Amino acid sequence: MRDKIILACTECKQRNYSTKKNKKNTPDRLEFSKYCKFCRKHTPHKETK
């Protein structure tokens, strides 16, 4: 089952992106390098609750 997740910037803690993931295939938390419009640069974004 695919669940909706939120990605938050690790520097400013803003929640910028939402996506879906299959929790059976990827039980650990996701981390992507994405653009943060608040920091105005590419930063690591981690999955939040």
**Which CATH number belongs to the domain containing residue 7 in this structure?**
2.20.28.120
- Strands, E assignment, 1-49: 2-9, 15-22, 31-36, 41-48
pLDDT of residue 27: 92
- Give the range of the structural domain holding residue 39, as residue numbers without chain letter: 2-48
Residue pLDDT, tens place only, 23-33: 999 999 999 99
> Count of domains in the chain?
1
Count CA atoms closer than 13 A to 6's CA, side-chain side: 9
Q: List, in sequence order, the alpha helices (H) in 1-49.
A: none
Spatial contact of 11 and 5, defined as CB atoms under 8 Å apart: no
Residue pLDDT, tens place only, 1-49: 899 999 999 999 999 999 999 999 999 999 999 999 999 999 999 999 7
